[in-house]
């Protein structure tokens, strides 16, 4: 079993480019990140590709991480989430998902109905449910269903500025709930 490294120490190791720190990062965070990606793209092979792409991007862009703006896990989740949404919107992915052969279509449908990621396992779902309804609705659409802020505004039939304000307030409230 690997020794637990405090987040601030891990960040210092990652900033130095220490390979073992990246291995630690992958071993301790990849399962949760994969679960989120799988929930968005709903395809195991595509989720594995996006996970790999996410960790490459995390490794290459770690110098851009700013601990004053949030925890490392939040930063990594946002990278993975954005890449998963990009994958979902890509023309190739949309076309490929329409062209399943008969042998794999049944197992594909089964996989789409199941997911390994359960936000309630890390307590996020319960935290979101404790929030004001106008915040939880926005968090559910944006983080759990992969909507953009513009799509959320359209879905809820409210101005984009209202979505942005509620999103910011929701994140502030989440930070308070996790202290």
- Residues of the chain with pLDDT > 70: what percent? 78
Of 140, 150, 45, 116, the closest CA to residue 87 belongs to 45
Domain 1-117 fold: Rna Polymerase Sigma Factor; Chain: A (1.10.1740)
pLDDT score for 100: 53
**Cβ atoms of residues 128 and 177 within 8 Å:** no
Domain ranges across the chain: 1-117, 120-179
Of 137, 5, 22, the closest CA to residue 76 belongs to 22
Q: What is the DSSP letter of 2?
A: P
Correct CATH for 120-179 of 3.90.600.10, 3.40.50.300, 2.40.50.140, 1.10.10.10: 1.10.10.10
Confidence of residue 176 (pLDDT cuts 50, 70, 90): confident
Main-chain dihedrals φ then ψ at residue 49, nearest 5 degrees: -65, -45
pTM, full prediction: 0.54
Q: What is the pLDDT of residues 108-126, one digit of tens each?
A: 555 555 444 444 445 667 7
Six token digits for residue 112 = 């789409």
Q: What is the pLDDT of residues 132-145, one digit of tens each?
A: 888 888 888 887 77
pLDDT score for 58: 92
Q: What is the pLDDT of residues 68-118, one digit of tens each?
A: 888 888 899 999 999 998 888 876 655 655 555 544 555 555 555 544 444
């Amino acid at each position: 079993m690997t020794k637990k490294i405090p987040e601030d120490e891990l960040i210092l190791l990652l900033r130095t480019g220490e390979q073992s720190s990246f291995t630690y990062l992958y071993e301790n965070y990849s399962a949760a990140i994969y679960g989120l990606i799988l929930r968005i793209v709903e395809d195991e092979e595509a989720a594995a590709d996006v996970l790999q792409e996410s960790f490459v991007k995390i490794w290459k862009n770690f110098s851009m991480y700013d601990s004053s703006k949030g925890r490392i896990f939040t930063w990594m989740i946002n990278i993975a989430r954005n890449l998963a949404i990009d994958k979902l919107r890509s023309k190739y992915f949309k076309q490929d998902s329409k062209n399943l052969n008969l042998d794999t279509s049944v197992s594909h449908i089964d996989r789409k109905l199941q997911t390994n990621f359960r936000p309630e396992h890390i307590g996020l779902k319960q935290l979101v449910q404790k929030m004001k309804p106008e915040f939880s609705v926005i968090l559910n659409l944006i983080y759990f269903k992969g909507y953009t802020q513009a799509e959320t505004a359209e879905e809820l039939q409210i101005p984009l500025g209202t979505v942005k304000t509620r999103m910011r307030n929701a994140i502030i409230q989440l930070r308070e709930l996790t202290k």
